[in-house]
Amino acid sequence: MRVEHYIKELLYRYNCVVMPEFGAFLAHSSSARVDASTNTLYPPTKVISFNEQLAKNDGLLVSHISKAKKLSYEDILEEVNETSKEWKQKLLQGEVIDLFGVGKLKLNLEGKIQFKPENKINYLTSSFGLSSFASKPILREKLKEEVEAIEERIPFIITPEQRKEGSFRPLMKYAAIALLLLSLGVSSYQFYNQNNLQQQLVDSEAKEQVERHIQEATFFDNSPMELPSLNLAVTKKDIEEGPLHHVVAGAFRIKGNADKKVTQLKQLGYNARYIGANRYGLHQVSYASFSNNKEALKLYRKIKRSTSPDVWILSD
């Protein structure tokens, strides 16, 4: 019976799987590590080890095989014990027991079982899908040293281009530069004159319009002239009326409730009044209204501190 197959299945879920009458396979979690010699990154894994002193049957392996094969626990236990005896016999004969996916077992010179894990399977379920990754070292400095060595062996000599005396090409280059500067100067002068002329025309037209309006507006002569008297009816209310600051007691959806609130406040001694509806259709009532914002603020603080914390100020 290939018991190692069932041992592998249990190692994914348990950290100790006992082979009755033989020993226990232990799994220890190991963090991710980097092998600097090979530039290899290894993910977190379970490290498998073996302890031959833990040979007492705990029922885990036998029960698992019994359920998988749908056989009785006693029959499976007998087969597992027979397998343990076969493994011990092979080890005494100097053979190596290869448990596929788990590791290899053999006897050392002292007659103890020596276990070497296979490390091809990661039994840590949280690292499922992760594999080791090896990166190649970057050889920037080495390449730089090779380039410098090549430059030392092969020097680069830059020789200037020789031109014949009296060549026509340098003259053409200077002539083109001079022509470009001349064209830029002419364009700039034309642009300045055009803008200056336009500014003069605008100033002249504006001056003519001002003089025309002045002539049209001058309809009084220098002779004295009596103007008719003008009587205006000015009341005290018109003089004093200005921006008002209302210390608002509340806003009501029904006009009747607002009138009741005005009556209650007047009974309490406030100069209450109805100040109209706001843009939401709510009828507003004030404790009092002031043209002086300081007086309104003084009453607001007094009411907020002693009577109603919901009071606010509305300025027209």
pLDDT in tens, 195-251: 666 666 656 665 665 455 444 443 334 444 444 454 545 444 443 455 689 999 999
Given a contact cutoff of 8 angstroms between Cβ atoms, the answer to whether 116 and 104 are in contact is yes
299, pLDDT greater than 70: yes
Tokens describing residue 294: 């300081």
Range with top average pLDDT, 39-48, 184-193, 298-307: 298-307
How many whole angstroms separate alpha carbon 243 and alpha carbon 315?
7
Q: pTM of the full predicted structure? A: 0.41
pLDDT band at 159 (very low <50, low <70, confident <90, very high): low
Average confidence score pLDDT of the chain? 78
Q: Residue 257: what pLDDT? A: 94
pLDDT digits (tens, 9 = 90+) for 18-76: 999 999 999 988 888 787 777 787 788 888 999 988 989 999 999 999 999 999 999 99
Q: Residue 130: what pLDDT? A: 73
Q: Residue 125: what pLDDT? A: 77
Estimate the crossing angle of helix 60-69 against helix 73-92, to 10 degrees: 120
Q: Residue 216: what pLDDT? A: 42
% of the chain surpassing 70 pLDDT: 69
Q: Residue 118: what pLDDT? A: 84
% of the chain surpassing 90 pLDDT: 36
Q: Residue 227: what pLDDT? A: 44
How many whole angstroms separate alpha carbon 32 and alpha carbon 78?
41
113, pLDDT greater than 70: yes
260, pLDDT greater than 70: yes
Torsion sign across C-alpha atoms 30, 31, 36, 39: positive
Instruction: Give the up-direction half-sphere exposure of residue 4: CA atoms within 13 A in the CB hemisphere.
Output: 12
How many whole angstroms separate alpha carbon 6 and alpha carbon 235?
109
pLDDT digits (tens, 9 = 90+) for 281-295: 999 999 999 999 899
